[in-house]
Amino acid sequence: MTKLGVNRREFMSWMSRSGVALAAAGGLWPALAGSAGADTVQVTVLRGATLIDATGAAPCPDSTVVLVADRIVAIGGAGLAAPAGARIIDLRGKYLVPGFWDMHTHLMQLRTIVPKSHIVYGVTGVREMWGLPESHQARRDFEAGTALGPRMVIGSAIIDGPASFYGRGMLIVRTEAEARAAVRAEHAKGAEFVKVYQMLTPELLTAIADEAEKLGLRIAGHLADFVPVDAALVLRQKSYEHMFGFLFSTSREEAEYRRKIAELPFDPAASYPWFRAVRELERQAGDSFSPAKAVALARKMRERDGWLSPTLRVLHMVTSPKETFAGDERMKYLPPFYKEYWANGAAGWAPVTPEQIARQREFYERQLRLVGILHKAGVGVIGGTDCGNPYCFPGSGLHDELERMVAAGLSPMAALQTVTRDAARHVGLASEVGTVSVGKKADLVVLDADPLASIANTRRIHSVVSRGRVFGPADRVRLLAEIERAALEFQPPTTAARSAAVVMPGSCC
């Protein structure tokens, strides 16, 4: 249905007599000013859905939500009259929730595939965890309206050192001066936070934290294996990805495992075996889990505003037999070479023997339970997929993550909030996105079934609203067809030419 124009004067009159909470000047007036046409505004009315605003309030049946351009300007019940000339969308029997945020993404550089994949599955915002030049260009295009894609918060290039188990395309720092210079350089390029990695020493992380604080940047990323969680919290690291290190910090025998890590043979020129050896020690540390230490860790995280970004889908992948996900029908939405690429990446981690499979399943279940324990104890949890890693799909993968969150013990509402309200809080955008509230950006998802009855219902998407633009059922079918076609047409680089700009490692990033 084509949007209709609403006369501005009539719209202002409608505002004054509506009797509902309307957008404050900071939200409504930019929407009006940005509307097309000198004398009209573009108004969309979403009528009849049950509103789940993600604040924690009870669902509101038969709601009416009024949008002007990319802002929510009014919320009311069935009795809220629509302005004359508005586009009215009947959503009776549907459920309206905020747009989702994937808080750990990559691969925005696959411009014909990944951005649309996010939007079509309701992901209207992302935290991009590797600040490549292509990511910044993508955001400029999305904000300008010249390309379709989610809102973006973009980190620095990944900083690691004095070595790295991955290495390719990363910033390797070996001295405190190099660490400080790397932070300054990434800030100059537009990074909104500093992404840190696995092998940083306490001295290097301290230098990064000090320089980041001077520049007003947060720190996010992997917990370095040489740095306990409580020490990283003191250094103001704000988010912790993939659960790395958390079973050490909740072990009754933590000191013994720290000693073992320090004694592991370490070759900077071939550091991957060291990294894998630490992961095996971490699996073993789960045998001596201490509930009391978990509670103490949760208290420290609350006090220091530390957030957990567990990326449960990727943790499930790396602890599962290699054939577990290989037949996923969503592979058709990625270039054909990803079938082999992801299979090889998964095989590098996959348990093989029955004994290995049982041990890794137990390891994953322990990580899952720890997420639930920390969340129950008040630690902020944010949902992210690490898309780009094997079988971590852009867009649709967020629904896998939500189901894993519920499996960890979160309620459906709490899981939903990890990718809406709490995601927005973490990136400092709570006044703009994250809940369905007057004055906020018009990023919304319409579902065919109640996500609070079953979190799996977030997959049952009817429509998506991104930046005020409504993508209905026919639009979503069209977008999926475009993604599938773009995937088939994608020309993969040669093996020698593959870089971080196109592919991801076969492990957490």
Which domains are seen in the chain, by residue range?
5-98+437-472 (2.30.40.10), 100-436+486-497 (3.20.20.140)
Separation between Cα atoms, residue 198 and residue 275, nearest integer Å = 8
50, β-bridge pairs: 95
Pairing type for strands 87-90 and 218-221 reads unpaired
Any idea which residue has 């499996």 for tokens? Answer: 407
Of 268, 293, 8, the residue nearest 163 (C-alpha): 268
Q: Are the CB atoms for 181 and 210 separated by under 8 Å?
A: no
Any idea which residue has 């971590």 for tokens? Answer: 392
3 state DSSP class of 259:
helix
> 216 burial class (0-12, 13-18, 19+ CB within 10 angstroms)?
exposed
Query: Structure pTM?
Result: 0.94
**Residue 49 confidence (pLDDT):** 98
**Residue 325 confidence (pLDDT):** 92
> Taken in order 50, 52, 53, 59, is the CA torsion positive or negative?
positive
Residue type, 205: L
Question: End-to-end alpha-carbon separation of the chain, Å?
Answer: 42
> 38 burial class (0-12, 13-18, 19+ CB within 10 angstroms)?
exposed
DSSP output for 121-148: TTEEEEEESS--HHHHHHHHHHHHTSS-
Separation between Cα atoms, residue 142 and residue 139, nearest integer Å = 5
3 state DSSP class of 37:
coil
C-beta neighbour count of 452 within 10 angstroms: 17
**Residue 20 confidence (pLDDT):** 53
Cα–Cα distances (Å) from 389 to 314, 339, 419, in that order, read 7, 12, 19
Of 141, 115, 113, 134, the residue nearest 126 (C-alpha): 115
Separation between Cα atoms, residue 110 and residue 499, nearest integer Å = 12
Residue 40 CA, chain-centre distance (Å), reads: 36
Separation between Cα atoms, residue 509 and residue 130, nearest integer Å = 9
**Residue 141 confidence (pLDDT):** 97
Per-residue tokens: 226 = 């040489």
C-beta neighbour count of 146 within 10 angstroms: 8
Phi and psi torsions of 497, nearest 5°: -90, -10
Pairing type for strands 100-105 and 123-128 reads parallel
Any idea which residue has 């000013």 for tokens? Answer: 33
DSSP output for 492-509: PPPGGG--TTT---SS--
Mean pLDDT by 10 residues, the chain (509 residues): 63 69 50 58 94 98 94 91 90 98 94 97 97 94 97 97 83 97 97 97 98 98 96 98 97 97 89 93 97 97 98 95 93 94 91 96 97 98 96 97 98 98 98 96 98 98 98 98 96 56 52
Per-residue tokens: 316 = 């499930």
Residue 232 belongs to what H/E stretch? helix 229-234
3 state DSSP class of 381:
strand
3 state DSSP class of 58:
coil
Residue type, 258: R
**Residue 240 confidence (pLDDT):** 98
